[in-house]
Structure 1
Amino acid sequence: MIKLRIPATTANMGPGFDSIGMALRLYNEIWFEEKDEGVEVFQHGKPSEIPLEDNLIYTSLIKTLEKYNYKWRGFKIDVKTADIPISRGLGSSAACIVAGVIAANILMGEIMSIDEIIGECVKIEGHPDNIVPSVIGGMVISLMDKEKVVYSKVNIPSSLRMFVMIPDFKLSTEEARGVLPMNYSREDCIFNISRAAMLINAMNNQELEKLREATQDKVHQNYRLKLIRNADKIFKASEEYGSLAEFISGSGSTLMALIDKDNIEFEGNMAKFLENLDDKWITHLIEADFEGVAVL
């Protein structure tokens, strides 16, 4: 029996489009067990309604095993806990892929290095910003150099907390990418490069007062905010209640506010504000996850 816990992730964090991500203390827990024949996938004790060919946990597991010529017969996969919502910009796809590849590696006797695991996961996912922090935890800058994934961890201020706001409506990655322009001006590129650089340095130096300017963006957020009902109002309220910065988590629809741990009234104030909106919002006040995927 293999028992894995995989963290949610938030990506982009404002200006770090497809390159900056952070693992969060919000988890899926997935168990794997080899059997003599057949494949069974369960979620919360009930058979999964997702077809096997569309199940990223299963397809990632099998693709990795077959790449290394591992002779498998059957599996039982049980999603015990699924706290990472689907299509909300919290890395649910990355978590499934990481679970499948890590489980395959354990079954094969842990023959893959961390970099090989990350590389295999990114080949399946298509980009590294959610994958890398899901595997190794923390806040990470990652990029693709041809087929090689290059990554580096960023220090996270110990007083930083993430207020996660998850609506009851989904936003697909395809829809969120579809609203983006094909070209950007030189000014917009400079704007984002400078903010992304400032975000990393402000984190490393624990300069929380610079996060608001450092999380501004002209590549994706202005276009995607129109797809998330009341996003502008929520960002405005967050700032009024003392948040350090706000941004869309991944491609949405989840919104994120960064706050100082000493801002003890923020959670209650924002919860009351969100209750008055038309959509239902689930919130979590959490810290960053520094471990990444864990074998339980």
Structure 2
Amino acid sequence: MVKIKVPATTANIGPGFDTLGLALNLFQTITIEKKESKEKEIIWPDEVLVSNQENLVIKALEHALALKNQSDLGYTLTMLSTEIPISRGLGSSAAAIVSGLYAANYLLGYVFSQQELINIATALEGHPDNVTPAILGNLVIASSIHNEVIHASVPFPNDLELVVLVPNFKLNTSESREILPKTYTKEQCVSNISRVSLLIHSLLTKDYTHLKIALNDFIHQPYRFTIIDDSQLLIDELVASQAYGYFLSGAGPTIIAIIDKGLIGFQKSINILDKGFQHHWQILTIDVNKSGAIVEVIK
């Protein structure tokens, strides 16, 4: 039996639409055990969050087994816990898919390479920006070319951390994608290319002079913020704070700020009580995950 821990992820990081992803120290955790029989047993120690039919862990697991014509393999899958809020833009679906693929790879005797797992996960998820850092950890640049994911890792500076603001409402990814324009101007595209370049330079050199500008985006954030309640009020708070900048996490509605690690009193500085907010926003200080998915053998 093995325990599998897969980190949450945040995609886009401002201007890196469908290209950049960053792993976070929040985890989906499962165990998987082989059975001699063909029986497939699903255990939820706590509350059942989704039905077995909608469970992406099971879907990914069964998909990978089918790829190797091993759908009859029996197992006990225990959905231990998830710290990742569902439908909040923190890669809950990517973590579930990666968990299922790693579970299947264990059952099959580790027949899939890491690159193959990335390719399969991307095919299931639809884009590589969440699943790739969920597997590799850290900040990842990823692109799909002819069904092969090309990726490169960028070490996220240890002197920075993330303040993650999670609301008590969900936002469907498909709804958040539908609001985006079908076409963009050359100026919008050039602006985003320049911001991505500045962002990667800032992180690699640890020169944060232009980090606030580098997190600007003209492709998705201006449109998505319009359908996220409280977003302008929260942005106003972040702009006035000591944060280097902020960005929408994936398709939203979670918003993330980048700050100096250990910045004292930052959470209090963006206290949103009595500010006219419609919803409650949970404020979490989270480190970047550097390990990616982990498989631990349990005797």
TM-score (normalised: structure 1): 0.95
Report the TM-score, using the length of structure 2 for normalisation: 0.94
Match of 1:193, SS state, is helix
RMSD: 1.5
Which one-letter code corresponds to 1:113 in the other structure? S
Cα pair 1:244 1:259 within 8 Å, conserved: yes
State whether residues 62 and 71 of structure 2, in contact with CA within 8 Å, keep that contact through their aligned partners in structure 1.
no
Query: What is residue 50 of structure 2 aligned with on the other side?
Result: 50
CA contact (8 A) 2:162 2:288 kept: yes
Structure 1 equivalent of residue 241 of structure 2 = 241
**Counterpart of 1:137?**
137
Whether contact under 8 Å (2:134, 2:292) holds in the other structure is yes
User: Aligned partners of 2:39 and 2:87: how far apart in 1?
Assistant: 29
Q: 1:190 — aligned with what?
A: 190
User: How far apart, CA to CA, are the structure 2 residues paired with 1:49 and 1:113?
Assistant: 30
CA 1:274/1:13 → structure 2, altered by over 3 Å: closer, same or farther? farther
- The worse-fitting range, judged by mean Cα deviation, of 170-179 and 24-33 is 24-33
Q: Distance in 1 between matches of 2:85 and 2:172?
A: 12
Measured in 2, the distance between the counterparts of 1:56 and 1:274 equals 36
2:272 maps to 1:273: yes
User: Following the alignment from structure 1 to structure 2, what is the Cα–Cα distance between the partners of residues 51 and 205?
Assistant: 46
Residues 45, 78 of structure 1: 8 Å contact kept: no
Q: Residue 111 in 1 paired to residue 111 in 2?
A: yes
Q: Counterpart of 2:260 in structure 1: which amino acid?
A: D
Partner in structure 2 of residue 39 of structure 1: 40
- Give the letter aligned to residue 39 of structure 1: K
Deviations 1:185-238 (A, max 9, x none): 000010001101111111111112221100100100000001111112212212
Say which SS state the counterpart of residue 206 (structure 2) adopts.
coil
Where does the alignment leave 5 or more consecutive residues of structure 1 unmatched?
Answer: none
Q: What is the DSSP-based 3-state SS (H/G/I as helix, E as strand, rest coil) of the residue aligned with 1:54?
A: coil
Bigger CA drift: 165-174 or 234-243?
A: 234-243
**Are 1:239 and 1:245, in contact at CA under 8 Å, matched by a contact in 2?**
yes
Give the equivalent residue in structure 1 for 2:258: 258
| Aligned partner letter, 2:248 | I
User: Identical aligned pairs, as a percentage?
Assistant: 36
Residues 93-172 of structure 1 correspond to what in structure 2 (within 5 A)? 93-172=93-172
1:286 aligns with 2:296: no
In 1, distance between residues paired with 2:168 and 2:44?
Answer: 20
In 2, Cα distance between equivalents of 1:201 and 1:25: 24
Letter in 1 for 2:279: D
Q: CA deviation at 1:240?
A: 1.4
CA contact (8 A) 1:274 1:281 kept: no
Number of corresponding residues: 294
The alpha carbon displacement at 1:70 in A equals 2.4
The runs of 4+ residues in structure 1 deviating greater than 4 Å are none
The residue type equivalent to 1:129 in the other structure is D
The Cα shift of 1:37 comes to 4.2
Distance 1:185 1:229 in 2: 27
Query: How far did residue 49 of structure 1 move?
Result: 5.9
Give CA deviations for 1:79-111 in whole Å, capped at 9, x if unaligned.
Answer: 212110111000000000000111111111112
Following superposition, the deviation at residue 115 of structure 1 comes to: 0.4
Q: What are the ranges of 5 or more consecutive residues in structure 2 without an aligned counterpart?
A: none
Equivalent residue for 2:229?
229
| Cα contact 1:32–1:103 (8 A) shared by 2 | yes
- Is 1:156–1:206's contact at 8 Å kept on the other side of the alignment? no
Q: Secondary structure at the match of 2:80?
A: strand
SS of the aligned residue for 1:57 comes to helix
Which letter maps to 2:178? G
